[in-house]
Amino acid sequence: MFQNFLIGLREGLEAALVVGLLLAYVRKTGKLTLVPKIWAGVALATLTALSFGAFLTFGPKGLTFEAQEAIGGSLSIIAVGFVTWMIFWMGEHSKHLGQELGQKLEAVQERTWAVVLLAALAVGREGLETALFIWAASKTSANNAAALLAALTGILLAIVLAWLIMRGALKLNLGVFFRYTGLFLIFIAAGVLAYGVHDLQEAGILPGLNNLAFDVSHLIAPTSLLGTLLKGIFNFSPATTWLEAITWLTYVGIVLPLFYRKHLSPAPQRQLAQA
């Protein structure tokens, strides 16, 4: 459940800050006629994300087990791709997000639908990513209602934090926040990727379903507290195939060093200290 909460918090904070920055810009420049257009774009983005989430949840119903697993595995892999890109992009652009949004809004302010589309795209990207990744992560949960509640809690907390930040009541180093939540998301994404591979194995698309790298079910029962925590946070499976294990290790082995070198090495840390 924690992974859904973290995803909701991080993506929700990004989306809420985008809205806050757009509104702050138009108020600062006195262009208050753009406010309804921005909210119209936010409403369009929210509706699109909810519709996408509903499609992911109910769309595959009625298909064969193999087809459902094939769709689930493929979408899980796509979700990991989006989240990986988001982790690196946000770590790079979090400091200059407000300036970039202001420049884009300045360029399209005279065109109503362009402003609506800008707000919709700025918020909608996070909404679609959130819907896809939460859906992929929730597939491993035994309690979908609890997983959804955890994600909604994270989103609501993100909205409150963004409001406090924009009001100046809370000082939060966004660069540090997005870097270290990004670090944690790497391990969550690795688990979702491995689970996606497992789905494709169950669909018969990938081989090795019965070739286990390890099985510690006798030590860590899936229904135990430890098993539930490991599953909920990292998508850890006590019985893991060789292909799942290799996929997890390969993803972490490639993405983690790249992320560290780009965002957590001594040079970025010095820049953070000077910010």
For the chain, percent of residues with pLDDT exceeding 90: 16
The more confident residue out of 238 and 122 is 238
Q: How much is the pTM?
A: 0.76
pLDDT (mean) for 160-182: 78
Cα 195 to Cα 231: distance, rounded to the nearest angstrom:
11
Q: How far is CA 8 from CA 4, 79, 132, 161, in A?
A: 6, 14, 12, 13
Secondary structure (DSSP) of 201-248? HHTTSSS-TT-EEEE-TTTS-TTSHHHHHHHHHH---SEEEHHHHHHH
For the chain, percent of residues with pLDDT exceeding 70: 83
Helices (H), the chain: 2-28, 35-58, 65-93, 97-108, 112-138, 144-167, 174-202, 225-234, 242-259, 266-274
Q: Are 240 and 234 in contact (CB under 8 A)?
A: no
Q: State the pLDDT at residue 115.
A: 65
Cα 229 to Cα 208: distance, rounded to the nearest angstrom:
26
Tokens representing residue 6 in the block: 């973290």
Confidence of residue 94 (pLDDT cuts 50, 70, 90): low
CA count, 13 A, side-chain hemisphere, 125: 14
Q: Residue 261 carries which DSSP code?
A: I
Confidence of residue 83 (pLDDT cuts 50, 70, 90): confident
The more confident residue out of 141 and 57 is 57
- Reported as a single tens digit per residue, the pLDDT across 207-258 is 999 999 999 988 888 777 777 777 766 778 888 999 999 999 999 999 999 9
Q: State the pLDDT at residue 53.
A: 85
Q: State the pLDDT at residue 270.
A: 46
Cα 56 to Cα 254: distance, rounded to the nearest angstrom:
29
